[in-house]
Amino acid sequence: MKATTWCKKHNACKEAINWIEKNNIRSMYEAWKKCKRSDWMLWVMEKLDYGTDKQLRLFAVWCARQIFTKDTNKQSIEACNVAERFANGKATRDELDTARTAVEYAEDAAWEAATYAARNAAWEAATYATWEVATYAAREVQANQLRKMFKNPFK
């Protein structure tokens, strides 16, 4: 089945269909190999019910760890460790929930501090522009990681 046909059949967004047509992508196999948008790839995986809960959790942990810096709070690092152990059957749901709650409290405090710092409209605009560039770069890195962790579902 042609990539455009498959995408239209599954109600893909117009942007994805345009990308397929512009890049002369013939098959979904080829689309999977060339796609630089992890969000589109995850959408395809959802449509196919592709990937186990464990695999998807481990991918999510991998994504979270990509943003860690020396300033990352200990709660976030521990939450990733617990999530990874949970995916591998070595932590309980209660441990996962406790770790998630600790992160939410830490994020709330960080968000409040950032909100006060963001009063300047120019700063907000610059942050948004930087965020957009970073988002596209991160999606491409994530797309490559998806290809490493998951075989092409259209093979």
For 4-21, the pLDDT digits (tens) are 999 999 999 999 999 999
The token duo for 52 is: 């186990």
The token duo for 93 is: 């749901």
Model pLDDT for residues 34-68, shown as the tens digit of each residue: 999 999 999 999 999 999 999 999 999 998 888 88
Q: What is the pTM of this model?
A: 0.79
Using CA atoms, how far apart are residues 117 and 73, in angstroms rounded to an integer?
Answer: 19
pLDDT confidence tier of residue 124, bands split at 50, 70 and 90? low
Largest CA distance in the chain: 52
The token duo for 24 is: 């002369």
For residues 46 and 107, the model is more confident at 46
